[in-house]
Copies of this chain bind each other. A is one copy, B any other.
Amino acid sequence: MNVLDSTHDPERRAWVPSAQAPDSDFPIQNLPLGVFSRGGDTPRGGVAIGDQVLDLRAALEAGLIRGEAAEAAAGPTLNRLMAMGRPASRDLRQQVSDLLAEGSDARARADDILIPISGVQMHLPSAIANFSDFMVSRDHSWRLGATKDAIAPLPPAFDSIPIAYHSRASSVRVSGEPVVRPNGQWKRGDGVHFGPTEALDYELELAIWLAGENPLGTPVPMSQAPGRLFGYGLLNDWSARDVQRWEMPPLGPFLSKSLSTSVSPWIVTAEAMIPFAIPARRAEGAPPPLPYLDSAENRARGGLSIALEVWLLTPRMKAEGGGPARLTATDFATMAWTPAQMVTHHATNGCNLLPGDLLGSGTCSGPTDESRACMAEIILTGPIMLPNGETRRFLEDGDEVIFRGRAHAPGAVSIGFGECRASILPAPPWPAA
């Protein structure tokens, strides 16, 4: 499954000049997939290359790519391609890489098949049938668990299973769409309060997009799990902490999460991530996973190294013409469970995972202070002091939150995830119209 090929060759260069910039998120070794439209026309699949989008439908019509995978990827969502599984993604990747590589005749057709990213509108990459959210950062769990009256800050099953809950599919939105501050209810003093949340937070997560399908009642063993990983993106699991604390016992988070979830538009495929695989991490003292959640392949290459960042841009920063301030710098490498383990766990009971289903990794906090990946963790040591003198405990109306991600590995060309960003709009007045 995870074999390097010519598409990963660090010497390969695209004929698109912007893709050759060393800081480009989208060199020819990346080739992330997304769905875009221009001027309100029909959404269709595209590949990011430098500062351009390769229009897969146009490339198909020009005869520059062909076959079932190319046709599936040129549709209005990527679900059809996702249903075809990893071999289809590999086939498409090879075709697109060859098309964009220096020396390809396709360069003569650049005007027909490339569109500047700045001129397109991005859409959700799949029609998401199901969204499940995990909690696999030991540091995130420990920091927040230790604030409660708990003898053991970690949930009892934390080292035994990748803990997760079902979240809301209908409220997932693509980067750029604003987030409305939710109204909600929580305990305040002796009474119960209702109004706009006063504790709106971000959670920096990895988005994991699924390929293939297992019928209901049929588990997915670890040997098959890598084949179910279509690709990765950035995910902001917006959270209303006051609502969350009140509603959680005993059934878990509900309205504190379903207000909105933002995802980055470009899916960095599992093929593109092969050079950035690392051994699965196991915390010191943690027991080994039970055999059904373990494999030699996973121990050797189940993890992923992805540097992840959160930036905050306040209305005052915008007014002052300043840039955003970095709140978080972390790495997915510190997670306690791998994406393959999440898939096998999720289907342990025979739950049918569908093509285009979305998993969130949970907040990707690491052990250092700068790697705290949500505000609830950061403010445990005091308010957030911003470079321009502003302070924050939680997000305010007008704040814009920006996620970035980038994978590095020795001998590999570094690739990026683009951005996941959204601004906060004020809560609607109540009673609602």
Contact = CB atoms under 8 A, between A and B. Distances in A.
A163 B247 contact: yes
A202 to B, nearest CB: 16
Contact of A161 (B129, B185, B353): B185
Interface string A191-207: 01010000000000000
A216 B219 CA distance: 34
Contact of A166 (B145, B167, B182, B187): B167
Interface in A319-360: 345-346, 348-354, 357
Interface string A220-263: 11010000000000000000100100111111111110111000
A165 to B, nearest CB: 4
Contacts of A171: 216, 351-352
Interface in A378-433: 425, 428, 430-432
A349 B259 CA distance: 5
Contacts of A24: none
A184 interface: yes
- Copies of chain A in the complex: 2
B160 A251 contact: no
A356 to B, nearest CB: 11
A194 B219 CA distance: 14
B243 A168 contact: no
A244 to B, nearest CB: 10
Given A157-B247, A349-B259, A350-B259, A425 B166 contact: no
Residue from A170, A248, A255, A350 with most neighbouring chain B CB atoms (10 Å):
A350
B156 A428 contact: no
A300 B340 CA distance: 52
A252 B351 contact: no
A175 to B, nearest CB: 15
Contact of A354 (B135, B170, B192): B170
Secondary structure class of chain A's binding surface, majority of residues = loop
A155 B251 CA distance: 10
Interface string A148-167: 00000001110011011111
A129 B130 CA distance: 8
Nearest to A129: B170
Nearest to A180: B217
Contact of A165 (B161, B165, B180, B217): B165
A349 B217 contact: no
Contact of A221 (B163, B164, B184, B431): B431
Contact of A160 (B145, B185, B249, B350): B185
Nearest to A177: B216
A349 B243 contact: yes
A169 interface: yes
B155 A346 contact: no
Contacts of A184: 348-349
Contact of A169 (B129, B180, B248): B129
Residue from A169, A187, A249, A251 with most neighbouring chain B CB atoms (10 Å):
A251
> Which 6 interchain pairs have the tightest Cβ spacing?
A252-B252, A182-B349, A180-B217, A165-B251, A219-B432, A251-B252
Interface of A: 129-130, 132-133, 135, 145, 155-157, 160-161, 163-171, 173, 180, 182-185, 187, 192, 194, 216-221, 223, 240, 243, 246-256, 258-260, 287, 290, 292, 345-346, 348-354, 357, 425, 428, 430-432
Given A157-B187, A217-B428, 8 more contacts: A145-B250, A156-B187, A157-B246, A163-B247, A165-B165, A182-B350, A194-B290, A259-B350
21 contacts: A129-B169, A133-B251, A156-B187, A164-B251, A164-B254, A165-B165, A165-B166, A165-B254, A170-B357, A171-B351, A182-B348, A194-B292, A219-B428, A240-B349, A248-B250, A251-B253, A252-B253, A255-B351, A256-B349, A259-B350, A292-B431
